[in-house]
Amino acid sequence: VVPDALPDIARIVNVCGGARIRGKRVENGTVTVETAVAVTAVYVAEGEQQALRCLETEVEVPVSASVPDANETTDVVASLSVDELEVRMLNPRKILVRACVSAAIRCFNEEKMSIASGISSGGDLQVLTRSCTAAPVTDVREKTFTISDEIAMPPSVQGYSHIMCTHTSLKVTDVKFVGNKLIFKGAALSDILAQPAGAALPVSFGATSEFSQILELGAPCDCAEVLLCLTGAYLNITESDGGKSG
């Protein structure tokens, strides 16, 4: 439903959305990932054919899977993606949102692995030896952290009234190991659509925010997979000494 502070919708011109993990739980062999899809719709306001407005909403999309061996000690790793997103106007004050979300869910239980060794040949017993590489998962760790950054507005387009739409993605740029510590670097890539004050059309630009984090492991290792999941992204326009920034 369109908030009272916003004008009626004439037509929707652009939509974007991203899936966010709000929580994970295991109950009776069922793994549930509490998921929300943050949706932003940019529309032309009724009676204001040159004015674009932004409507933001969030849709709950519960994702569950049957995993008989999962229990309360199971480590659940999930990654989400929005495959399809449809936003349709029902009337000037209401929209319909449909989202198709794909989830890759992996569950890890602690187990012991035995490897036979030290068998010697003798008499009629012959031993065939082959070498192979085994890469069992020895540790699963999770860390929640927050990054903040100040993004300078492009000099050519100063004087924004508000940010209309943003899309942020994460990527890992480097992974190192020091003892039982895993040090990883990454970047938050943001695409921003902002409305300049007094202008009819918005302006888009990109920004990159780099970060570094340390993760404590149970034991030293030299190989790991780092998966980054975005739980929320917020951008606001603030005043600084050099002008406006986000």
Interatomic CA distance for residues 141 and 217, integer angstroms? 7
pLDDT at 113 over 90: no
Q: How does pLDDT run across 26-74, given as a tens digit for each residue?
A: 998 999 999 999 999 999 988 876 678 889 999 998 899 999 999 999 9
Is the pLDDT confidence value at 228 over 90?
Answer: yes
Q: What pLDDT was estimated at residue 176?
A: 96
Q: Where do we find the tokens 């300078």?
A: 152
Q: Band of the pLDDT at 149, cuts 50, 70, 90? A: very high
Contact by Cβ (8 Å): 40, 17 = yes
Q: Does an H or E element contain 73, and which?
A: none
Name the pLDDT band for 241 (thresholds 50, 70, 90). Answer: low
Pair of tokens at residue 110: 């602690």
% of the chain at pLDDT higher than 70: 90
d(CA 117, CA 218): 26
With contact defined as beta carbons under 8 Å apart, do 19 and 101 qualify?
yes
Q: What is the 3-state secondary structure (H, E, C) of 88-151?
A: EEEECCEEEEEEEEEEEEEEECCCCCCCCCCCCCECCECCCCCCCCCCCCCCCCCCCCCCCCCC
112 vs 170, more confident: 170
What 3-state class would DSSP assign to 50?
strand
Q: How far apart are CA 75 and CA 107, in angstroms?
A: 6
Lowest average pLDDT, out of 35-39, 72-76, 120-124, 190-194, goes to 120-124
Overall average pLDDT of the 189-196 stretch: 87
- Per-residue pLDDT at 27: 93
Count of C-beta atoms within a 10 Å radius of residue 206: 11
Name the 3-class secondary structure at 10.
strand
In tens, the pLDDT along 193-210 reads: 888 777 777 888 899 999
As a whole number, mean pLDDT of residues 124-153 equals 86
The pLDDT of residue 239 is above 90? no
72 token code pair: 């309360």
Q: What is the mean pLDDT of the chain?
A: 87
Q: Which residue has the higher pLDDT, 18 or 115?
A: 18
Question: Could you report the per-residue pLDDT of 163-183, keeping only the tens digit for each?
Answer: 888 889 999 999 999 999 999
Contact 55, 109 (CB under 8 A): no
Query: Are 181 and 220 within 8 A, CB to CB?
Result: no
Q: Give the residue-averaged pLDDT of 5-22.
A: 91
